[in-house]
Amino acid sequence: MADVKITSVTKKFGDVFAVNNFNALIKDGEFVSILGPSGCGKTTMLRMIAGFERATEGEIAIGDQIVSKSDAGIFVPPEKRHIGMVFQSYAVWPHMNVFDNVAYPLKIQKVPADKLKERTEQALDLVHLAEYAARFPNQLSGGQQQRVALARALVAEPGLLLLDEPLSNLDAKLRESMRFEIKELQKKLGITVVYVTHDQAEAMAMSDRIIVMHKGVIQQVDEPIRVYEHPANPIVADFIGLVNFLEGEAAAGQIQFKALGCGIPANVSFEGPARVAVRPEHIRISKTDGYLRGKLVNKFYLGDSTDCRVLVGDTELRVIDRGAAFAEYSDGEDVFLSFGHVMAFPK
Amino acid sequence: MGKKWLPQWDTKWMLILTAVASLVVFVVLPMLYLVYKSFIINGTLDIHHYQTVYSKVVNWNALSNTLKISLYSTILAVVISFPLAWLIGRTDLPWKGFFRTLFVATYMIPPYVGAIAWIQLLNPRVGYVNKFLVENLHLAEAPFNIYSMTGMVWCLTLFYAPFAFITISRAMEKMDPTLEEASRVSGASPLRTLWNVTIPLMYPSILAGGILVFIGVASAFGTPSIVGMPANIEVLTTRIVTYIYMGDTKGIQEATALAVSLMLAANGLLYLSMFGLGKKEYVTIGGKSTRPNLVELGKWKWPAFSIVMGYGAISVFLPIGSVLVTSLIKSMSRPVTWDNLTLATWKAALENTQYTEPLMNSFILAIAAATIATIIGIFIAYLLMKTKAKGRKIPDALATLGGATPGIVIALALIITFSGNFGLNLYSTMTILVVGYIVKYLTMSVRTISASLSQVHPSLEEAALNSGASWLQSLRDIMWPLIRPSVVAGWFLVFMPSFYELTMSIILYGSQTKTIGVLLYELQTYADPQDASVLAVIILLIVLVGNLALRKVSRGQIGI
């Protein structure tokens, strides 16, 4: 098993910083996701760990092996890094059957035939593909191909598994069940995982910690619940989950909203102009009481919740109600709002 | 609505049917008639022609020479093209863009021009290279003799290898680079990856490219004739032309039998490559477009560069330089110095109506062929890509069939079919040449246009019809602007090979309709290398200009 130590890694394409001063320590056996919108540099970072891109600056160590250190001219090619990797496009070789695909890393290591067969079958068992060993990739569904890729990445028992948006080519239902399958596998094997995705639900569900990236720069490294409830900055708040932004003024124990003509009690650690983020599900709608008074513009029935737009002053707030709001309120009605959890950032 | 619908439907289908009908008359009819004439004697099935033809040793030799030369050239072309395509497509070789353009552009050099150049270089008596080596290494005799089997294979390989290079390069560009990366993380070195993943995945394209080279070489007439005839090496195509030049019925009959043999071999191979391998074409799911991870050549970078550069110099610059110098030289027996260069040959050639007339003819013929092929091509491509008509693939298949049939076979089929037999006597007219070019190169325009039509979503046309446009209006206002670049590109792709066509022209031309290819062939055979070089340079210039225009209109998308 292996930890991953990334120190001051920067990658430039021409004059563009794809990854800028990336620092992270991924512990042995940890499941860490790198999350961010497309073009944020997350795939580039993963490819640097894999050895498909050379870091412009900085150092990467896997276990006790320094695999990349630009100023010392150290660069270990991908085949010498002993990692497993699953690609978005599966990258299952169409000219080999399932068994040969999965056995390939062992074949390269010159594992004796009987051992090779045994370990390959174990790996196939692990991903529930034992009876598909003789099939060719074109006879498999997308989900099955992804399992082949997973078995191939795991068969040589690497200390580190890299996954590059492995589920984004699958349909929604399969994607959800694969999430749990991958997580279960990781727990069972105790392997270190670095998982790249732009899908926050995926990152939330599976990760021990999430690294949120934006424009090549790390915004926050934290547990999923911390990232969601205590985002480090407005960028993270905006990217993860839904959010209403309000301009306010923080002062001892409360925040004043000039535009709304009111204030709310809040536990803030600073004073002065503030950017306040409130998640729609953290706003309570009521007919009788609340800090804010507004008008219900419209509402949409979503099954498990009601999605409301409420106009307060000239600010429109999005409110998600898990109760019976759809039946109880009508468009144009005057309503009261109160905030539960608010996130305030100094401006 | 109902009333308006019907006439629109009519225009559309009448135009498409006209295009298809012209294909039936000019492709299907002549081919069938050729096969018919070869097997049917006096109304009964008789293989007498084949017996006569194959009872002659000279024909057997021609057949075996064709097979040998084609096989050797194919193997060599693949062995050269695969590493080139890999180095250019997958490694950090310097000057990759330049090399790609260079090797792809060789496709546009008429092979017989290459042959003429190599004769100038490796002629045992006066070849530039031979003379240089004899003088500098003090050899007793010339080390190379172009007039040999080796010489033929050499010329044909160099000028047909681009077929393999283009096919393999394209497949390599289309291949998902993560397939190779998956092998690297599995622990395989770059070389091992090349062997275990890249080559097996490229295998269908390598075979397909090889088959294209094989068919091309087996169908070639110019090079085998110019290089092989002086050494008395005959191949099928030169035998067929010799038989046709006999002019009598018997000659035509035996030519027919040989031509059908050649056609069956070429089309059979193509059929194999399309349907036998087509199924094995690996479709891979595209992920996000990662930049392919280039293999770092490290210390091999500059050696590899030198080899590729050396190949480029030998295969392209040396022959082009040779014809250029020969066209400018005052006296062939004196060394190449500034004093020995002159524009006199050029001036005389350009003032000679015996040269300018064929040049004009070729221009007119190629423009006519390209324009008609483009118009037919639009409708066939439309039928193929934008309708659901039953059998919509057949016209496209017919165009492909025409393109895959050796030119010599097409020419012979046209002669025996349209010499008055079906109420149409085109013998020795410009028309029969235009028809020949269209049959051979129509597939170029169909392919280019259908590729771009497939990018036009059907709803775009439906929206136009929905807005009240007639089919022709929607074609003009919606389709045409979107496909115009590829239509123009398709036009050039027919124009250029038609302009310098030799194999069909040598059979189809008449005294008033001589083409530049035929003229060049005559000059070479009558040993006037200087005038031949002037014409060769003119052809190269026109091809170069055409190719630049092609790149411009297609914004670099299509260039050959």
| 3-state DSSP assignment of residue A207 | coil
Backbone angles phi, psi at A74, to 5 degrees: -90, 125
Q: What is the amino acid identity at position A188?
A: K
Question: Cα torsion at A250, A252, A253, A254 (round to 10°)?
Answer: -40
What is the third-level CATH fold of B59-285+294-342?
MetI-like fold (1.10.3720)
User: Does the beta-carbon distance from B184 to A52 stay under 8 Å?
Assistant: yes
Backbone angles phi, psi at B477, to 5 degrees: -90, -30
Token code pair at residue A186: 């990781």
Q: pLDDT at position B252, please?
A: 87
User: Does the beta-carbon distance from A85 to B285 stay under 8 Å?
Assistant: no
Contact residues, chain B, for A79 at CB < 8 Å: 184-189
Q: pLDDT at position B555, please?
A: 66
H or E stretch at B541 = helix B529-553
Q: pLDDT at position B356, please?
A: 92
Q: 3-state SS of B302-348?
A: HHHHHHHHHHHHHHHHHHHHHHHHHHHECCCCCCCCHHHECCHHHHH
Alpha-carbon separation of residue A291 from A330, A340, B161, B288, B316 (angstroms):
21, 11, 80, 48, 82
Alpha-carbon separation of residue A321 from A240, A292, A307, A308, A312 (angstroms):
19, 16, 7, 8, 17
Q: pLDDT at position A23, please?
A: 96
Encode chain B (560 residues) as per-residue pLDDT tens digits.
Answer: 444 444 456 778 888 888 889 889 888 899 999 988 888 877 778 888 888 888 888 899 999 999 999 999 999 999 999 999 999 988 889 998 899 888 887 888 899 999 999 999 998 888 888 888 888 888 888 889 999 999 999 999 999 999 999 989 988 888 888 899 999 999 999 889 999 999 998 888 898 899 989 999 999 999 999 999 999 999 999 999 999 988 788 888 889 999 998 988 888 888 877 776 554 545 444 444 455 667 788 899 999 999 999 999 999 999 999 999 999 988 777 777 888 888 888 998 889 989 999 999 999 999 999 999 999 999 999 988 888 888 888 899 899 889 889 999 999 999 989 887 777 788 888 999 999 999 999 999 999 999 888 888 888 888 888 888 888 888 888 888 888 888 998 999 999 999 999 999 999 998 899 999 999 999 988 778 889 999 999 999 998 888 888 888 776 555 44
**Helix B529-553, helix B516-525: angle, nearest 10:** 150
State the Cα–Cα distance between residues B131 and B332, nearest whole angstrom: 12
Which of A88, A84, A93, A98 is CA-nearest to residue A186?
Answer: A84
Query: Cβ neighbours of residue B542 under 8 Å, at least 6 residues apart?
Result: B496, B499, B500
State the Cα–Cα distance between residues B412 and B251, nearest whole angstrom: 12
Alpha-carbon separation of residue B233 from B19, B147, B168, B238 (angstroms):
42, 9, 31, 9
Which of B84, B114, B111, B115 is CA-nearest to residue B99?
Answer: B84
In chain A, the domains with their CATH numbers are 4-236 (3.40.50.300), 242-339 (2.40.50.140)
Closest partner CB to B201 (pick from A88, A95, A108): A95
Which of A205, A161, A167, A211 is CA-nearest to residue A186?
Answer: A161
Q: Give the number of other Cβ atoms within 10 Å of residue A56's Cβ.
A: 16
How far does the CA of residue A196 sit from the closest CA of chain B (Å)? 13
CA A214 to chain centroid, in Å, comes to 12
DSSP for B459-491, please give it: HHHHHHHHTT--HHHHIIIIIHHHHHHHHHHHH
pLDDT tens string B441-479? 999 999 999 988 888 888 888 888 888 888 888 888 888
Closest partner CB to A79 (pick from B189, B203, B282): B189
Q: pLDDT at position B132, please?
A: 87
Identify the residue whose tokens are 């190949």: B311
State the Cα–Cα distance between residues B360 and B356, nearest whole angstrom: 6
Contact residues, chain A, for B285 at CB < 8 Å: 89-90, 142, 145, 169
Q: pLDDT at position B4, please?
A: 45
- Mean pLDDT for all residues in chain A: 92
Backbone angles phi, psi at A162, to 5 degrees: -110, 130
Write out the residues of chain B at the interface with chain A, using a CB-CB cutoff of 8 A. 176, 178-179, 181-190, 192, 196-197, 200-201, 203, 282-288, 290, 293
A339's torsion region: left (phi>0), alpha (psi -120 to 50) or beta? beta
H or E stretch at A5 = strand A4-13
Which of B176, B289, B185 is CA-nearest to residue A162?
Answer: B185
State the Cα–Cα distance between residues A121 and A124, nearest whole angstrom: 5
The single-letter DSSP state of residue A301 is E
Which of A45, A19, A39, A14 is CA-nearest to residue A194?
Answer: A45
The single-letter DSSP state of residue B44 is E
Q: Give the number of other Cβ atoms within 10 Å of residue B223's Cβ.
A: 29
User: Does the beta-carbon distance from A88 to B192 stay under 8 Å?
Assistant: no
Contact residues, chain A, for B182 at CB < 8 Å: 85, 87, 91-93, 149, 152
pLDDT tens string A16-67? 999 999 999 999 999 999 999 988 999 999 999 999 999 999 999 999 999 9
- Which regions in chain A score pLDDT beneath 50? none
Residue in chain A closest to B296 (alpha carbons) equals A77
How far does the CA of residue A31 sit from the closest CA of chain B (Å)? 20
A254's torsion region: left (phi>0), alpha (psi -120 to 50) or beta? beta
Domain boundaries, chain B: 59-285+294-342
How far does the CA of residue A109 sit from the closest CA of chain B (Å)? 8
Q: pLDDT at position B283, please?
A: 47
Q: What is the ipTM of this complex?
A: 0.85
Residue in chain B closest to A160 (alpha carbons) equals B185
Q: pLDDT at position B287, please?
A: 43
User: Does the beta-carbon distance from A79 to B186 stay under 8 Å?
Assistant: yes
The dihedral built from the CA positions of residue B86, B87, B89 and B90, taken in this order, carries a sign that is positive
User: Does the beta-carbon distance from A82 to B293 stay under 8 Å?
Assistant: no
Contact B456, B483 (CB under 8 A): yes
Q: pLDDT at position B471, please?
A: 82
Query: Cβ neighbours of residue B292 under 8 Å, at least 6 residues apart?
Result: B89, B90, B177
Residue in chain A closest to B201 (alpha carbons) equals A95
Contact residues, chain A, for B184 at CB < 8 Å: 51-52, 77-79
